[in-house]
């Protein structure tokens, strides 16, 4: 049984089915047109006569302004990445017309590539391009860029976890588990990483190990309930029911498990008659 209540709890509890939160660079102000250089005539501070404190009278000095504010050369890599990030998000925005999506994606990819051409070590550009390929489902290219980034930043725990989530989106549960474990080697006490590991183990069918990981970070009733959610999502109602019963046994007051069990045991409505008119004796006219 996979009812609305189960779907609600599943989607709210399972980190791997969410959308990826990724840090973005701040967006630089667009290139503006700087004022053209101009000469300003100086104004004498007094009359042409010698001041009473001595020295020469003020002399008009031309002053050049605005010459240093004019951008020179191509945009910086950080600017290219920031603009590419905006275009990538716009391409996947539900309000973006489908006819504009491909153009925005091409511009985003080109922006990341331009930034890398200027600075092959640019972290934001490598990650931006990795996320671009990941969202388009180009797994090999995404992993190539992630590996390129991690070769220079092997202890970036957030990116290691991000790669695990990418594998989860690709339904590669073994790969997701491996990357979760890599992230946990860098930060063994990270609760978010361990919870992701528990769900990936469950989705991969490693029930006992998943339960052990869950019990390390939450009460038994909640651990059983999470397993029940995964089982319901995978259309295994009897196994899900068993986990819910064990959750209630561990904590009779654990409301989510009780509500889910009530939903699971709710009688299914009778199947709709495929053709009630003919069943009533209706004979179609020739």
Mean pLDDT over 264-277 rounds to 62
Mean pLDDT computed over every residue of the chain: 79
Mean pLDDT over 70-86 rounds to 86
CA–CA distance, 92 with 77 (Å, rounded to integer): 23
- pLDDT at residue number 51: 40
Cβ contacts of 195 within 8 Å, gap of 6 or more = 15, 214, 217
CA–CA distance, 75 with 71 (Å, rounded to integer): 8
Cβ contacts of 240 within 8 Å, gap of 6 or more = 1, 228, 229, 231, 232, 264
Quick: pLDDT tens for 139-161.
999 999 999 999 999 999 999 99
Per-residue pLDDT band for 9 (boundaries 50, 70, 90) equals: very low
pLDDT at residue 5 tops 60: no
- pLDDT at residue number 74: 80
- With b meaning 16 or more CB within 10 Å and e meaning fewer, what string describes 23-48? ebbeeeeeeeeeeeeeeeeeeeeeee
Going by the DSSP 8-state scheme, the letter that residue 136 receives in this structure is: T
CB 227 within 8 A of CB 14: no
Q: What percent of the chain has pLDDT over 70?
A: 68
- pLDDT at residue number 119: 95
Asked whether the CA dihedral 160, 152, 155, 84 is positive or negative, the reply is: negative
List the helix and strand counts (H, then E) for the chain.
Answer: 13, 2
* DSSP three-state, residue 278: helix
First to last CA, the chain: 43
* DSSP three-state, residue 261: helix
Quick: pLDDT tens for 103-138.
999 999 999 999 999 999 999 999 999 999 999 999
Least confident window among 31-35, 160-164, 272-276: 31-35
């Amino acid at each position: 049984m996979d009812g609305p209540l189960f779907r609600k709890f599943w989607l709210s509890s399972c980190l791997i089915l969410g959308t990826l939160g990724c840090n973005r660079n701040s967006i630089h102000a667009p290139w503006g047109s700087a004022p053209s250089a101009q000469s300003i005539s100086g104004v004498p501070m007094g009359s042409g006569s010698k001041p009473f404190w001595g020295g020469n009278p003020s002399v008009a000095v031309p002053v050049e302004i605005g010459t240093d504010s004019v951008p020179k050369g191509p945009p910086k890599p950080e600017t290219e990445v920031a603009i590419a990030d905006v275009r990538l998000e716009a391409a996947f925005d539900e309000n973006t017309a489908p006819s504009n999506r491909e153009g925005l994606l091409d511009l985003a990819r080109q922006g990341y590539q331009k930034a890398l051409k200027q600075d092959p070590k640019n972290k934001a550009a490598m990650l931006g391009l990795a996320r671009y390929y990941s969202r388009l489902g180009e797994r090999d290219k995404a992993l190539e860029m992630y590996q390129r980034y991690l070769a220079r930043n092997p202890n970036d725990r957030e990116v290691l976890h991000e790669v695990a989530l990418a594998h989860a989106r690709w339904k590669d549960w073994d790969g997701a588990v491996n990357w979760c474990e890599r992230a946990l080697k860098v930060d063994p006490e990270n609760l978010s990483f361990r919870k992701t590991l528990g769900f990936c183990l469950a989705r991969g069918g490693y029930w006992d190990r998943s339960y052990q990981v869950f019990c390390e970070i939450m009460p038994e009733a909640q651990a059983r309930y999470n397993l029940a959610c995964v089982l319901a999502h995978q259309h295994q109602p009897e196994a899900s029911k068993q986990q819910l019963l064990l959750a209630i046994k561990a904590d009779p007051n654990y409301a989510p498990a009780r509500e889910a069990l009530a939903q699971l045991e709710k009688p299914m409505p009778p199947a709709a008659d495929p053709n009630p008119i003919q069943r009533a004796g209706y004979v179609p006219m020739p």
